[in-house]
Amino acid sequence: MSEALNLANNPMLLEVENLAVEFDTYGGVVKAVRGVDFSVEEGKTLAIVGESGCGKSVSVQSMMGLIHMPPGRITSGSARLRGEEVLGRNELNGKEIRGAEISMIFQDPMTSLNPTMTIGDQIAEPLQVHRGLSYRQAFGEAINLLEMSKIPEAAKRAKQFPFEFSGGMLQRAMIAMAISCKPSILIADEPTTALDVTIQAQILDLMQDLQKETGMAIILITHDLGVVARMADEVAVMYAGKIVEHGTVDDVFYRSAHPYTLGLRAAMPNNDPARQHELKPIEGSPPDLFAPPKGCGYCARCPFAMEVCDKHHPQDYFLGDHHFSCCWLHHSDSPTKPEELYFKENS
Amino acid sequence: MGWYIFKRLIQGIITVWFIATATFFAMHSVPGDPLLNDRAVTPAIRANLEAKYGLDQPLLTQYVIYLGNLSRGDFGISFTQENRQVNDIIREHFPVSAILGILAVLFAALGGVLWGSLTALYRNRLPDYIIMFLVILGISVPSFVVAALSQYSLVTLNNAVGQTLLPVAGWGTILHMLVPAMVLGLSTMAYLTRLMRSSMLEVINSDFVRTAKSKGLPPARIFTRHQVRNAILPVITVLGPQIAVITTGGFVVEIVFAIPGLGRFFVEAVQQLDYTVIMGTTVFYGAFLVFMVIVVDVLYGFIDPRVRLK
């Protein structure tokens, strides 16, 4: 797949291939991520969407070395930053990967910052460790970063503790901390889920502004399709530990080629009175990842499921340079071609 | 902060007054009196003695006199020991108990934080199992057994070496203090280890430690600045009362190691119904405990900024 994506002739900043992660639990082995491929271009935003438990957070956290091992385990796969393997490594060409090359912000800013350290100290930390700045220099830089993140009275705010900040402010501080060492990739793991809607918009704006300024790539993990439409260049739709559809935002939203993407769209509210429709939930629940299905994971909930779906896993069918769908309906022998779905013109 | 400390001190004084009152009435409702132990006291001598000590007065009058003396810091004269002021007893013997107590608390706190962190980091692996087994042992074996066993080991050790490495009993140099302090602090250390372990386990899995890891900080820095600093808060909370418990509860260890601390007087006074010494030591210990709790609360504010402003 990655060869095909590379046809766009753009060198990929980060390429993740066939990543698989398992967890040992008392109930058995959970196959949380079952072979995931994605890639990010410099300065672009990739959104990974999917419902809770589909493995979107685990795949990026395993890449960052943030899952506890044991019980977690990366069973296969590689992640290459500018062509060099980063899985299981801390440094790349003398530069720390975590915090310096790739940094991350999290879902709940209220609990993601150390309650006993000032905001400024926490932002200064990576600068002291990765760039060798003195405490005083790093703290000064932290104030600049807070200003960049549009926090008023940054000098005063830097001396305050997390409990003196609101949720939106804390997420700004998290962003300031994440960009402190000018990383080439910012991973945002549901950055706006814990915030209210007006603050969400501000945080997303801030991320876009900073992306323009610094040219970093963003991997945005979310289950909010509204956020995806606003932020992303490319979208990967994940289900049950696999990517089921991948493409540009327009591909995924206007030329949805996988029944699951279709289901997600039908379940999304919209505020256009002309198109008012009842929200259609996706019936059933995701498959048991203790014993993942042999065939397509979505088969049991899919309105278009065929016999083959249950027995064999489909391959990725390419519908464009970047656009693929992992669904048997795109096989040339498929008996039906539901009109809701997008198909390759000449097939 | 100044206002906060002032408020806590006022609360503390009220608590101490409460302790003094409760002790006073509890003690006087116990059957018998301090003169009962004396040999053949004739009614006339008894009446004289009672008049001298004010025991012939109504209870409430005694209470008022007692509170008046207490507010001036005067605990009175011992009933059973010749010519000794309770203040003198406390002044001479409390420093011994306090030094022993402080050493024991230091030992317990350092050990508790260290072992607790270790067990949490090695959760469900061999070091965890070994240390937690010793912790259960440390909590459940009473201190007089540990004291006797350690004395026995000291004797064996000194005999084996052929000279006195560490003295078996007595008081004077730092060498005298080491073993009793360790024995005295052992159960507290075991308790603090358990506390530190559970609080550390919580912190290890917290979001902010994940953030610290995602920043690429070295493990040592994550440990000291992010994990221990947060996990230590519950340990500090119980440290204040534990200091008082150790300092006042050391009489078993004091007796086994022949240490001239205050604990022995406390126990003897109760046995002999020596009113003034019971009252003096109880109120003094009570005030000491209240004071330590306040000290720890203030200290807490310095470590946890969330407490500081309130």
Q: Does B218 touch chain A (CB under 8 A)?
A: yes
Mean pLDDT of A89-105: 84
Yes or no: say if A216 and A179 are a contact pair by the CB < 8 Å rule. Answer: yes
Q: Give the residue on B whose Cα is nearest the Cα of A183.
A: B215
Q: Out of B210, B216, B226, whose CB is closest to A129? A: B216
Q: Kindly tell me if the per-residue pLDDT of A10 is higher than 90.
A: no
Best of A108, A112, A118, A145 to substitute, by most chain B Cβ atoms within 10 angstroms, is A112
Give the Cα separation of A89 and A102 in Å (integer): 13
Q: What percent of chain A has pLDDT over 70?
A: 94
Mean pLDDT of A83-91: 82
Q: Does A98 touch chain B (CB under 8 A)?
A: yes
Per-residue pLDDT of A36-83, as tens digits, reads 999 898 889 999 998 888 888 899 998 888 888 778 889 888 888 888
Of A123-127, A172-176, B84-88, the poorest mean pLDDT is in: B84-88
Chain B neighbors of A103, CB-CB under 8 A: 214-215
Best of B125, B201, B203, B215 to substitute, by most chain A Cβ atoms within 10 angstroms, is B215
Chain B neighbors of A100, CB-CB under 8 A: 216
Q: Tell me the count of A-B CB pairs closer than 8 A.
A: 79
pLDDT of residue A276: 63
Asked whether the beta carbons of residue B208 and residue A112 sit closer than 8 angstroms, the reply is yes
Yes or no: say if B277 and B265 are a contact pair by the CB < 8 Å rule. Answer: yes
Give the sign of the dihedral formed by CA B277, CA B283, CA B289, CA B295. Answer: negative
Give the Cα separation of A145 and A113 in Å (integer): 16
Mean pLDDT of A76-100: 83
Asked whether the beta carbons of residue A116 and residue B304 sit closer than 8 angstroms, the reply is yes
Asked whether the beta carbons of residue A66 and residue B206 sit closer than 8 angstroms, the reply is no
Under 8 Å CB-to-CB from B247, ≥6 apart: which residues?
B97, B98, B100, B101, B102, B285, B288
Q: Out of A112, A116, A174, whose CB is closest to B305? A: A116
Q: Give the residue on B whose Cα is nearest the Cα of A64.
A: B214
Asked whether the beta carbons of residue A64 and residue B305 sit closer than 8 angstroms, the reply is no
pLDDT of residue B54: 76
Per-residue pLDDT of B223-247, as tens digits, reads 999 999 899 988 988 887 788 778 7
Give the Cα separation of A185 and B58 in Å (integer): 84
Asked whether the beta carbons of residue A111 and residue B208 sit closer than 8 angstroms, the reply is yes
Asked whether the beta carbons of residue A98 and residue B214 sit closer than 8 angstroms, the reply is yes
b/e map A5-32, b = 16+ CB within 10 Å = beeeeeebbbbbbebbbbbeeeeeebbb
Asked whether the beta carbons of residue B217 and residue A99 sit closer than 8 angstroms, the reply is yes
When pLDDT is cut at 50, 70 and 90, the band that residue A7 belongs to is: very low
Q: Give the residue on B whose Cα is nearest the Cα of A114.
A: B208
Q: Does A125 touch chain B (CB under 8 A)?
A: yes
Q: Does A113 touch chain B (CB under 8 A)?
A: yes
When pLDDT is cut at 50, 70 and 90, the band that residue B208 belongs to is: very high
- Rounded to two decimals, the ipTM of the complex is 0.85
Yes or no: say if A5 and A319 are a contact pair by the CB < 8 Å rule. Answer: no
pLDDT higher at A331 or A211: A211
Q: What percent of chain B has pLDDT over 90?
A: 30
Per-residue pLDDT of A272-330, as tens digits, reads 766 666 778 888 888 888 888 888 888 888 888 888 888 888 888 888 888 888 888 88
Asked whether the beta carbons of residue A129 and residue B217 sit closer than 8 angstroms, the reply is yes
Q: Does A69 touch chain B (CB under 8 A)?
A: no
Closest CA to B254 of B186, B155, B181, B153: B181
Q: Kindly tell me if the per-residue pLDDT of B69 is higher than 90.
A: no
Alpha helix segments (H runs only) across chain B: 2-28, 43-53, 59-71, 86-121, 126-140, 143-161, 174-204, 207-214, 219-221, 229-231, 233-248, 251-256, 262-271, 275-303, 305-308
Closest CA to A17 of A36, A33, A41: A36
Asked whether the beta carbons of residue A115 and residue B304 sit closer than 8 angstroms, the reply is yes
Residues 150-189 of A with CB under 8 A from B: 161, 163, 174, 177
Of A14-18, A249-253, A254-258, A276-280, the poorest mean pLDDT is in: A276-280
The most distant pair of C-alpha atoms in chain B lies apart, rounded to whole Å, by 85
Chain A neighbors of B225, CB-CB under 8 A: 114, 117, 125
Asked whether the beta carbons of residue A115 and residue B305 sit closer than 8 angstroms, the reply is yes
Q: Kindly tell me if the per-residue pLDDT of A8 is higher than 60.
A: no
Give the Cα separation of A178 and A107 in Å (integer): 14
Q: DSSP letter at B222?
A: I
Give the Cα separation of A56 and A239 in Å (integer): 9
Q: Out of B211, B215, B306, whose CB is closest to A163? A: B306
Q: Does B215 touch chain A (CB under 8 A)?
A: yes
The pTM of the full predicted model, rounded to 2 decimals, is 0.79
CATH fold of the domain at B92-275 = MetI-like fold (1.10.3720)
Asked whether the beta carbons of residue A64 and residue B229 sit closer than 8 angstroms, the reply is no
Chain A neighbors of B229, CB-CB under 8 A: 114, 116-117
Closest CA to B279 of B72, B49, B76: B76
SS (H, E, C) chain A: CHHHHHHHCCCEEEEEEEEEEEEEECCEEEEEEEEEEEEEECCCEEEEECCCCCCHHHHHHHHCCCCCCCCEEEEEEEEEECCEECCCCCEECCEECECCCEEEECCCHHHHCCCCCCHHHHHHHHHHHHHCCCHHHHHHHHHHHHHHCCCCCHHHHCCCCHHHCCHHHHHHHHHHHHCCCCCCEEEEECCCCCCCHHHHHHHHHHHHHHHHHHCCEEEEEECCHHHHHHHCCEEEEEECCEEEEEEEHHHHHHCCCCHHHHHHHHCCCCCCHHHCCCCCCCCCCCCCCCCCCCCCCCHHHCCCCCHHHHHCCCCCEECCCCCEECCHHHCCCCCCCCCCCCCCCCC
Per-residue pLDDT of B115-153, as tens digits, reads 999 999 888 889 999 999 999 999 899 888 999 999 999
